[in-house]
Amino acid sequence: YRVVIPIYRTLLKLDQKNHEMYQQMAECCLRVNMSKEALESFQKAVEITHRLKPDIAQRYQKRVVQLMPGELGEVVRLAELYEAASWSDQAAEEFSSLARIYRKLGNMDAEVRFYERAVQAKDDWQYRRETSDARLRQGSVKRALELLVPIYKENPTDAKLLNVLARGLSAIDHND
């Protein structure tokens, strides 16, 4: 693989928009423990494809995320690529995952923002429930209840939903 990498570099000078060649070079770099160069090649492949081919770009971005664990900005970009490729389930799950991470970090505004992005990607009652729960912890009782009432009508027996609803109603009582 080491022998092929300089050949890829030369070819990429001639064809700088060839995302597949960047991907192939990145794979070779990984095989010989050149992770920094592999990362740069995957990032270049994402840069080339993200606008017109988000369904391809998300595959490269997954590899970037793997090479940069803990870099939340890269996870956000992956979720946005899923969204652009109309992969709503994957986008919603990535945004929801980001919300849970930000909750653990104590950043309620980011938690709410990413749960809302999950709802935008896939309007699912469970994501709306989580958004409402985050809004309650943030102190936005009215906005939380606005989200809860319609989903309560559809899911009146969900224990988590009932818990969030009870906390929201309790918060109104305490504010009066």
Residue-by-residue pLDDT tens, the chain, 176 positions: 889 999 999 999 999 999 999 999 999 999 999 999 999 999 999 999 999 999 999 999 999 999 999 999 999 999 999 999 999 999 999 999 999 999 999 999 999 999 999 999 999 999 999 999 999 999 999 999 999 989 999 999 999 999 999 999 898 877 54
Question: CA–CA separation, 30 vs 101, rounded Å?
Answer: 28
pLDDT at 2: 85
pLDDT of amino acid 175: 58
Q: What pLDDT does residue 132 have? A: 95
- HSE-CB at 153 with a 13 A cutoff on CA atoms is 5
Query: What own/partner pairs with CB < 8 Å and gap ≥ 24 does 45-54 have?
Result: 45/19, 45/20, 46/77, 46/81, 48/17, 48/18, 48/19, 48/22, 49/19, 50/81, 50/84, 53/19, 54/81, 54/82, 54/84, 54/85
- pTM, two decimals, is 0.88
Token pair, residue 9, equals 């570099």
What single letter denotes the amino acid at residue 44? K
Q: What is the DSSP letter of 68?
A: S
Contact 175, 141 (CB under 8 A): yes
- Return the pLDDT at 21: 97
**What are the residues whose beta carbons fall under 8 Å from the beta carbon of 51, sequence distance 6 or more?**
none
Q: For residues 134 and 111, is the Cβ–Cβ distance under 8 A?
A: yes
Report the pLDDT value the prediction gives residue 176, as an integer from 0 to 100.
44
